[in-house]
Structure 1
Amino acid sequence: MNTATLPLSAAQSAKRDIQTISLIGLAHGTSHFFHMLLPPLFPVFMREFGLSYSELGLLVSIFFVISGVGQALSGFLVDRTGARPILFLALGCFVLASVAAGTAHGFSGLALAAALAGLGNSPFHPVDFTILNKRVSQARLGHAFSVHGITGNIGWAFAPVLLLWIYEGTGGNWRLGYAATAAWALFVIALLALQRDAIDDSQGAWGHEKAGAAAPVHEHPMAFLKLPSVWLCFSFFFFTTSALSSIQSFASPALNAMYGLDLTVTKWVVTGYMVCGAIGMVLGGFLVARSQNLERNIAWAMTGAAVLLALTGTGWLPAGMALVAAALAGFGTGLAGPSRDMLIKKAAPPGATGRVYGTVYSGLDTGFAVAAPIFGALMDRQWNNAVFIGASLALLMGIGAASLVRKVPKG
């Protein structure tokens, strides 16, 4: 008898959900960790390889162009072949990216590392959300999205700490840091392989596949692209991650130039932004469970973040307060995170979730790819406040896109 088909007790269901959520959270945190494979050491690369801010921004674009194109395509692959094997291939690319970064001797070597890391990053959102939506109980799905977002922020926050700690602790041996990132990716691969049954999406079912539910209407695989809600969600990601790109890549040197804060202090602004974002996401998971108006959640939370970033960009604040304000803005974007992910779930037609998440989340990659060289060029012109003012305006544009999702047809 196939015990996989037997109904689970409440305790068994909770245990299974927690295991799946934890493993996917670890994998997602690792993908975000590798977003930051190169940016924490940008000042080192400028000094050792003679690179400009514009060239550093181009490295970010290489990562996210490859990730964005790959993410849109990988959604189709996940829907066709399943998520789990693609997850392992993605993690393997992170190992190769670490090797390329650790052996780089100029822009071309760093570009190869960025390309490999972008390729590895590309399938994560279609993979993660396919596994979560198929294996996690509906009652815990909002919290699953919250944990998913939290671990992403932790990954973003941890990478600068690890790489700079190794760099400073070894007297400037930045290459050793990339040996550590490769080791981390290998550890995650090994752990997921040992617990592979918990991330097996073939053992779960979409809501429309469950007994008694109506069968989905079979449409052309590209039919979802005609839905305005999909493109509004894409636009939301484009604008909000353009803001994030400016903070991740250039907030530290911008604060240094505007307020005279030492780089050893300003380097913590990204970590602070991500930690505040993680705290916001914890609360955001409960907010989703108690609220039916996801667009309003997003609007209030992100407006607060936009105000804090705009104040930082004015240059009016005392130096220490500017650092705190920029970091606290992460709380607002984090609070909106679970509402954002649930909004996309509601915009996805049955049976096309992998494709929808792949397409929508490619807006994230597009935002990073477009924004990084633009903000880098502004920094080269010493328009340092544009990092924060531009991020604030981008968040407001994202709010506008999210507010329209409820008003357009979903299918």
Structure 2
Amino acid sequence: MTPDDKAFLTALFDAAVDAADPAVALQGHLPDPPAGRTVVIGAGKGAAQLARAFEEAWDGPVEGIVVTRYGYAAECGALKVLEAAHPVPDEAGAAATEEILTLLAGLAEDDLVVALITGGGSALLAAPPDGLTLADERALNEALLASGAPIGAMNAIRKQVSRVKGGRLAAATRARVVSLIVSDVPGDDPAEVASGPTVPGPATRDTALAAIRAWNIDLPPRIRAHLDTAPEDAPSVDDPALAGNEVHVIASAARSLDAAATLARAQGIPAHILSDAMEGEARDIARAHAAVAREIALRGRPFARPCLLLSGGETTVTLRHKGRGGRNTEFLLSFALAIEGMEGIVALAADTDGIDGSEDNAGAFADGATCAAMRAAGVDPAEALARNDAWTAFDACGQIFAPGPTGTNVNDFRAILIR
């Protein structure tokens, strides 16, 4: 892979991230000031940057609390930024959630709550229901992350094991709630982002139980007992108490992919967006992408060369071993194996928040020579894929992509250039 290839793919990633920049995304979405207090709450890997942008844009007094992942904080003025663990919740997240609940409980009807919600908020807002503990919520997250189930199935279960998810956070206050959401979920359903703390959805306990059966998820016994016996107390989508609330998706994978496509076309490369809502096992989705890329490279169909393929969404990884990496590096390792020996295909797969899985990289680069480079460095790529150890393989051959935290999150970004 040439330096020009990496520069081009990196520029596409940067364009996608810039399209989800909090300051840009907020434009045109600020609510009217209330008669009473303006309180900001928020959660997610991009919540602190979104809070800072809101504070700079808001004309009037503001107060509030947002919680983000460790290392993702941004300096704000009146707004308090707290940090906690992701993707498995910790005591700091639980304490931050209680602080937010206390703040909401003290508000009145003429106050306004602005909820800034981005991907990652589900783990950062930790509030187990009565009868369960933080250790139970941690065990639930670990089981779900290892299951390979899609995000919708995981969220359906999480919403039934929380005092804040599934719209419960919005129901905890008498104030009107305006939710400004950066979507990281396929289809951009606001009720799915961060498990919908301020947006009720249709998922019920029966939905959760069906997801467990469909994906054969092995839940901790205490969690399963709770699901079997607990009442369904999440607000419904037509709950009159939430009737005055507003929900706005202000940034999404679709808009970010459009920005990357526009940049490529401006440089003379026809760009094709396959989908912004791809779900499924990362290694399987990779093989499908590779099949399309190979068809273009070998036969010029369904698109003529040169061209760029773009896709987004959220793949999953069924953990078979405790290797190092995340879903984007796993995708790309499977992709690299499927295009091995091919010339003229280069690719980048990365998480738009800047962190992919267990390490500090966003993703990696690959081309037809990547697997040979891994073997030359002493790593068998097929064995690494079997061990869920994609990071080690890409690190060995120097093809890690590590831009650092980006301050936003619209999920997976995949760019495949066929010359």
**TM-score, normalising length from structure 1?**
0.29
**TM-score, normalising length from structure 2?**
0.29
